[in-house]
Structure 1
Amino acid sequence: MGSTGRRDDDRLSGVRDRDDEGRARNARPRDGLGRPLPYGTPGVERQPEGVVRTPRQTVEEAQALLDAGKPFHAHEVFEDAWKSGPETERTLWRGLAQLAVGLTHAARGNVTGGARLLRRGAGALEEWARDTGRRRPHGLDLAGLTAWARERAEAVEGAGTAVDARESAPRLR
């Protein structure tokens, strides 16, 4: 048996890990950038999924995770807001999630994917602000975030190597 109480051959036979509600969820530990680690290896505690937060809580929690060099985890916080928030704000939260996952890819060394997602997130934020006329929803600095994402995409492509997620973290407000 593996350290998770599952038989090692279950992992090889395609039996899927399940969470307490029975949903498929990989039980492998993850590092700070969300990369899977071998079973039994200590990892970073995962963000709970499906948490409904106020916009203020979402921004504060995501900023703390970004500041800690955990953009993958911040992406999951934004994803919760995108899925549970009002329909009118889905593009906003999805754009922020794209920025966080773009930084995740850039920190993992995926230069092309990181730059692409940073630009996609910047475009989503610009489009949302243009469509709604709101430039600072929930105190977010959309103009600053858009500029940060485009500059970061250029820098990632220019360097051609992984970035430090903590040093590269944006300020959301």
Structure 2
Amino acid sequence: MGSGRDRDSEGRARNARPRDGLGRPLPYGARGVARQPEGVVRTPEETVGEAQALLAEGKPFHAHEVFEDAWKSGPDSERALWRGLAQLSVGLTHAARGNTTGGARLLRRGAGAVEGWAEGCGERQPYGIDLAGIVGWARELAGAVERGGEPVDAKIRAPRLRVP
């Protein structure tokens, strides 16, 4: 008899329930949004473009998965950058779900990671990413989330990743 857990084609545990735009599981049979495929290798420019489109649609959870693919498949020298951007996306996800403590914490952690990466390698705008602007956005949003205590609109509060 099976374990009752959803499994992927290789037998790994995978939740097959549909998800909403913020990545929350919905009941089986409900209509959810398309999930991001996992393990996709993209160029850095493709990563930034796809993540920006998802953020603009109010889907920071899905953008996090794109950044996670980059951090797992990219060069070691860039892992902290992509991991930091993934943390920022998850922070926005939590803030949009109403988890103010977790949202603010992850926004600050991601901002610190991105800022630390930029200081460590001397790059300020790799792949056109406005690192200083992203760090400022994250810290401002973390403070607003803590002050407001209410869920934020992920679409309205989405960052602009590239230099304007």
Inter-partner Cα distance in structure 1 for 2:53 and 2:126: 19
Identity level (%): 76
Inter-partner Cα distance in structure 2 for 1:116 and 1:80: 22
Inter-partner Cα distance in structure 2 for 1:52 and 1:64: 17
1:54-69 superposed matches below 5 A: 54-69=43-58
Letter of the 1:154 counterpart:
G
Inter-partner Cα distance in structure 1 for 2:89 and 2:127: 18
The match for 1:138 among 113, 127, 131 is 127
Q: Does 1:165 align with 2:127?
A: no
Q: Which moved more, 1:74-83 or 1:22-31?
A: 22-31
- 2:75 — aligned with what? 86
Map Cα deviations across residues 150-172 of structure 1 (whole Å, 9 max, x no partner). Answer: 00000111110100000000000
Larger radius of gyration: 1
Deviation for aligned residue 1:94: 0.1
- 1:30 — aligned with what? 19
Scaled by the length of structure 1, the TM-score of the pair is 0.91
Q: Does 1:103 align with 2:92?
A: yes
- 1:72 — aligned with what? 61
Inter-partner Cα distance in structure 2 for 1:81 and 1:15: 32
Deviation for aligned residue 1:18: 1.1
Inter-partner Cα distance in structure 2 for 1:33 and 1:88: 30
Inter-partner Cα distance in structure 2 for 1:157 and 1:77: 27
Scaled by the length of structure 2, the TM-score of the pair is 0.96
Map Cα deviations across residues 62-118 of structure 1 (whole Å, 9 max, x no partner). Answer: 000000000000000000000000000000000000000000000000000000000
Count residues with an aligned counterpart.
162
Task: Give unpaired runs (5+ residues) of structure 2.
Answer: none
Deviation for aligned residue 1:23: 2.1
RMSD of Structure 2 on Structure 1 (CA): 1.2
Deviation for aligned residue 1:20: 2.1
Deviation for aligned residue 1:24: 1.5
Deviation for aligned residue 1:49: 0.3
Inter-partner Cα distance in structure 2 for 1:117 and 1:91: 14
Deviation for aligned residue 1:21: 2.8
- 1:4 — aligned with what? none
